[in-house]
């Protein structure tokens, strides 16, 4: 969300009651630029821009530089024109990574339930820490004081009952602030915002909604869900309607504890039937993807495990172009890996799929394809999660998710050349 999405009138005190507001969103202010200022005190108070030469973009800018209209992701040439007196500092990624680790260590002292979202941002669930450390607001103030004292850096903290509102609140608290959104004020706050303030509404979604005259969160909240789903797709329509009413059950997921998800299956009879193996891969990919979605995670790497009848175990893995929680994408990678395995005619006894390099799944902006064709496979698979949740796990098989390209085979394996 851009700061401009929140009108100044909304940046006010929303109350003191932090009961049930166990979620904190901590966001470093102008992170890279602030790290530079912290180690070069002569820069304090000056417009500072972190960025490279030539055709690169602004990576970070101090608030002094932002006052001239400079912001992150702006072309450097334009930033220099807007603010010729700015001190331009080349990026030092290792310094930012080290400082990030120190910030996350401070957060880790508060609770183990820390979900790092990016180099300078994290969610914490402090609902279990009240006895030990005090109320959520007090914990948030303590974090800000410690980061300031130990790292000479400012962070802003949002305190709320849900992740999306905590994130909204930290953005509204900037710079160097703390904002509590009491549970009872959540809907009023949300309904005072333009629609693009919602976490998950990017430019294309905003435009679609605007075409239907839905400009504010209040208007979105009053729109019939089915109508919203026609405008932005099944899953996103439901999700945004929930967010507009302050409903966001997503938990804070301590990402580092989970390194991978996976599933494997051993056959009753060893097989060389490629179509049969691919059908099993599809089921396994579907299991992996559902585990990922249930935990709010996405995987960057897909691995295939094949054990042959003579007990040789082969593993192959592939890094995807982008993290995913979509069964179809995991399946395609696994199928490609299987095609690359030379089984030399041996039958297969076990096959497995694993997804690793996990990160927390943000509410994704639709891809270009989705913007053109609707929510696509991810939306379809999320819709099926919902069907399974309501009607039980047997309600749908993975074959359905693939649109008939491959369907689970219950017939006896046929012979096929696997080499």
Nearer to Mg ion among residue 153 and residue 221 (C-beta)? 153
Closest to Mg ion by CB, 18 vs 120, is 120
The sign of the torsion formed by the CA atoms of 124, 129, 132, 134 equals: positive
**What is the closest distance, in whole angstroms, from the C-beta atom of residue 93 to Mg ion in the complex?**
16
Question: Which C-beta is closer to Mg ion: that of 120 or that of 248?
Answer: 120
Stretch that binds Mg ion, among 28-36, 54-62, 138-146, 211-219 (CB under 5 A): 28-36
Return the SS3 of 359. strand
Residues 6 or more apart whose CB falls under 8 angstroms from that of 32 comprise 50, 59, 60, 91, 96
**Does residue 196 belong to the site contacting Mg ion (CB under 5 A)?**
no
CB 50 within 8 A of CB 40: no
Set 115, 121, 283, 370: catalytic member: 121
Q: Output 11 or 191, the one with its CB closest to Mg ion.
A: 11
CA–CA dist 257, 259 (Å, integer):
6
Is 121 designated active site? yes
- Site size toward Mg ion, by CB under 5 A: 3
Q: 28 with 34: CB under 8 angstroms?
A: yes
CB of 205 to Mg ion, least distance (A): 22
Tell me which residue has tokens 């710079």: 175
58-61 vs 48-51, strand pairing mode:
antiparallel
Please tell me the distance from the alpha carbon of residue 59 to that of residue 123, in angstroms, as a whole number.
22
The answer to whether 269 and 393 have CB atoms below 8 angstroms apart is: no
The token pair that represents 52 in the structure block: 């490279």
Per the CB < 8 A criterion, the answer to whether 271 and 364 are in contact is no
- 323 by DSSP, 3-state: which? strand
- Residue 170 C-beta: closest distance to Mg ion, Å: 9
Closest C-alpha among 200, 192, 247, 166 to residue 12: 192
**Shortest Å, Cβ 153 to Mg ion:** 11
Q: Which of residues 112-171 bind Mg ion (CB under 5 A)?
A: 120
The yes or no reply on residue 50 touching Mg ion (CB under 5 A) is no
The Cα 377–Cα 89 span in angstroms is: 43
27 lies in the binding site for Mg ion (CB under 5 A):
yes
184 or 202: whose CB is closer to Mg ion? Answer: 202
How far apart are the C-alpha atoms of 242 and 383, rounded to whole Å? 15
Closest distance of CB 315 from Mg ion, Å: 38
Of 147 and 302, which has the nearer Cβ to Mg ion? 147
Give the closest residue to 397 by CA, choosing from 264, 290, 269.
Answer: 290
Question: Percent helix, strand, coil in the chain (nearest 5)?
Answer: 45, 20, 35
Closer to Mg ion by Cβ: residue 120 or 325: 120
Q: Considering beta carbons, is residue 27 or 370 the nearer one to Mg ion?
A: 27
Helix ranges (DSSP H) in 174-324: 186-190, 203-211, 217-222, 225-232, 234-244, 274-295
Cis, bond preceding 218 (omega within 30 deg of 0) = no
Residue 245 Cβ vs Mg ion, minimum distance, rounded to whole Å = 27
Q: How many Cβ atoms are within 10 Å of 243's Cβ, its own excluded?
A: 23
Rounded to a whole number of angstroms, the minimum distance from the CB of residue 35 to Mg ion is 11
Shortest Å, Cβ 121 to Mg ion: 6
Catalytic residue ranges: 121
Q: Which residues bind Mg ion (CB under 5 A)?
A: 27-28, 120
């Amino acid at each position: 969300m851009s700061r401009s999405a929140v009108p100044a009138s909304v940046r006010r005190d929303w109350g003191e009651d932090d009961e049930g507001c166990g979620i904190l969103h901590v966001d470093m202010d102008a992170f890279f630029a602030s790290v530079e200022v912290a180690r070069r005190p002569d820069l304090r108070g000056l417009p500072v821009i972190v960025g490279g030469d030539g055709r690169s973009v602004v990576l970070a800018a101090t608030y002094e530089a932002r006052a001239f209209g400079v912001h992150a992701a702006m072309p450097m040439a334009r930033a220099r024109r807007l603010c010729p007196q700015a001190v331009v500092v080349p990026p030092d990624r290792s310094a930012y990574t080290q400082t990030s680790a120190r910030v996350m260590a401070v957060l880790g002292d508060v609770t183990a339930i820390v979900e790092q979202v990016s180099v300078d941002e994290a969610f914490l669930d402090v609902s279990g820490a009240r006895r030990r450390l005090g109320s959520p607001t007090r914990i948030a103030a303590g974090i800000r004081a410690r980061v300031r004292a130990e790292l000479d850096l400012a962070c802003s903290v949002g305190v709320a009952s849900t992740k999306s509102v905590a994130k909204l609140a930290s953005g509204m608290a900037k710079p160097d602030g703390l904002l509590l959104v009491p549970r009872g004020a959540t809907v009023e706050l949300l309904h005072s915002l333009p629609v693009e303030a919602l976490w998950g509404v990017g430019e294309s979604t905003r435009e679609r909604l605007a075409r239907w005259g839905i400009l504010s969160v209040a208007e979105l909240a009053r729109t019939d869900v089915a109508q919203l789903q026609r405008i932005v797709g099944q899953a996103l329509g439901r999700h945004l309607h929930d967010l507009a009413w302050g409903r966001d059950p997503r938990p804070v997921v301590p990402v580092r504890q989970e390194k991978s998800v996976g599933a494997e299956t051993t056959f009753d009879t060893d097989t060389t039937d490629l179509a049969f193996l691919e059908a099993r891969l599809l089921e396994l990919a579907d299991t992996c993807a559902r585990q990922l979605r249930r935990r709010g995670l996405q995987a960057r790497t897909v691995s295939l495990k094949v054990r042959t009848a003579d007990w040789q175990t082969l593993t192959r893995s592939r890094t995807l172009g982008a993290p995913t929680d979509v069964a179809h994408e995991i399946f395609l990678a696994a199928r490609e890996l299987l095609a690359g395995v030379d089984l030399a005619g041996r039958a297969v006894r076990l096959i497995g799929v694993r997804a690793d390099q996990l990160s927390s799944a943000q509410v994704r902006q639709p891809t270009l394809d989705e913007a053109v064709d609707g929510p696509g496979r991810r939306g379809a698979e999320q819709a099926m999660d919902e069907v399974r949740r309501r009607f039980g796990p047997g309600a749908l098989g993975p074959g359905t998710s693939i649109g008939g390209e491959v369907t689970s085979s219950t017939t006896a394996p046929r012979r096929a050349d696997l080499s």
